[in-house]
Amino acid sequence: MQATVRARGFDVGLSLAPGETVAVMGPNGAGKSTLLSVVAGLLRPDSGRSVIDGKVLFDLDGGASVWTAPHHRRTALLAQEPLLFPHLSALENVAFGPRSAGTARKAARESAREWLAAVDAGDLEARRPAELSGGQAQRVAVARALAANPEVLLLDEPMAALDIHAAPLLRRLLKKVLAGRRAIIITHDVLDALMLADRVIILEGGKIAEEGPTRQVLQRPRSRFAAGLAGLNLIPGTITATGIRTTEGLEVAGHQDEDLLPVGSGEPNMAGQPGVAAFPPSAVSVFLSDAHGSPRNSFPVTVTDLEQHGDQIRVRAGGMSADITPAASADLGLAPGMTVHFVIKAAAVAVYPA
């Protein structure tokens, strides 16, 4: 699929293997929901083309544009809220897809019962949506989406509106039902990406900033958003012999990560290429004065925020984070607005191409 929506600055190309689940992550307004709307046929892109198993969903590039209406696409949508039809029982909600496909009432109900049982909601079939808890309703909504026998399941932050007790249950359920199913899931939760998706796409400003297998993206993030997800500091720049040089001319010493080179490319020195330096906040020490020692990086920065992070204090300064103990923070007398030095051992900084 490839699509452009000019009004929203959206330009994304994406392909999905059969049985593959892709997680789409990114900041608010990055175009995640736009992507789902385009696939579902609820939003018409300005240009682009999408084919699924030989069936053209839309083709707006050629002379004669093709546009398949949403109800012919078989792309069931599961939104943040369950959006169960309030006037229908749970069973009739689940039977809605099969009924719309022309299945007879009785057969549709049979299939609905099976799907309700599959999401552990068999005992809820007679209830109205108003009589269901948030987690129950979302489970029924999952059954309703699956009962429509979609070719692609579109999930728009399905866990976001659930409380902390209901979310893990639904996540387990989704893991079960998404296995071997083609799906796109929008999520803010890195756990969803890890558990449910084979691949993750990071959208930023309507474009794909980064994509790859979930593990790889989290271990070696190339975009600032993915680095935030992985809990890493990220400094983009140009790779040098000793590390990386930012556009502002800042030199960051680090070690080049050879695991990351494509197999057979041979050349370990990636100098001159655009790259990033990544390091965890726990590798950052905070000093009041410039302290040089072994190969270290030392950056003067101004503290913007201090916050509790687990049993550590997270110090945010100059677009980076440092995790230090509360005792250390008290010793230093840290407060927003102070100028301090962030010191990172070069050995803790991984440098790899962007």
Partner 1 sequence: MDLGRGSGYHGVPRWVYAIAAAGGVFVLLPLAAMAARVNWPQFIPLVTSESSLTALGLSLRTSAASTALCIIFGVPLALVLARSSFPGQRLLRAFVLLPLVLPPVVGGIALLYTFGRQGLLGRSLEAAGIQIAFSTTAVVLAQTFVALPFLVVSLEGALRTAGGRYEAVAATLGARPTTVLRRVTVPLVLPGLASGAVLSFARSLGEFGATLTFAGSLQGVTRTLPLEIYLQRETDADAAVALSLVLVAVAVTVVGLTYRRPGQKDQRSVPAGGTASGRMDGAR
Residue 67, interface with partner 1 (CB under 8 A)?
Answer: no
Q: How many residues does the chain have?
A: 354
Residue 295: DSSP 8-state: S
Site pattern 11..50 for partner 1 (x: CB under 8 A): -----------------------------xxx--------
Q: Which is nearer to partner 1, 57 or 232 (CB)?
A: 57
Residue 76, interface with partner 1 (CB under 8 A)?
Answer: yes
Find the binder of partner 1 among 144, 171, 182, 341 (CB under 8 A).
144
Q: Which is nearer to partner 1, 40 or 90 (CB)?
A: 40
Separation CA 139–CA 171 (nearest Å): 10
- Site residues (CB under 8 A) for partner 1, limited to 83-122: 83, 85-88, 96-97, 100-101
- Site residues (CB under 8 A) for partner 1, limited to 301-340: none
Q: Which is nearer to partner 1, 87 or 106 (CB)?
A: 87
Looking only at the bridges linking them, the beta strands covering 21-25 and 66-67 are unpaired
Residue 74, interface with partner 1 (CB under 8 A)?
Answer: yes
Question: With CB under 8 A as the contact rule, which of the stretches 47-55, 74-82, 280-288, 292-300 interacts with partner 1?
Answer: 74-82
Find the binder of partner 1 among 64, 69, 241, 335 (CB under 8 A).
69
The answer to whether the Cα torsion of 249, 254, 260, 263 is positive or negative is: positive
Q: Which is nearer to partner 1, 85 or 287 (CB)?
A: 85
Q: Specify the 3-state DSSP secondary structure of 274.
A: strand
Separation CA 282–CA 18 (nearest Å): 40
Separation CA 85–CA 128 (nearest Å): 9
Query: What's the Cα-to-Cα distance from 81 to each of 14, 77, 273, rounded to whole Å?
Result: 26, 11, 44
Q: Please give the structure tokens belonging to residue 162.
A: 């659930």
Query: What's the Cα-to-Cα distance from 42 to each of 35, 66, 112, 153, rounded to whole Å?
Result: 10, 15, 25, 15
- Residues making contact with partner 1 (CB under 8 A): 40-42, 69-77, 79, 83, 85-88, 96-97, 100-101, 128-130, 144-145, 148, 150, 154
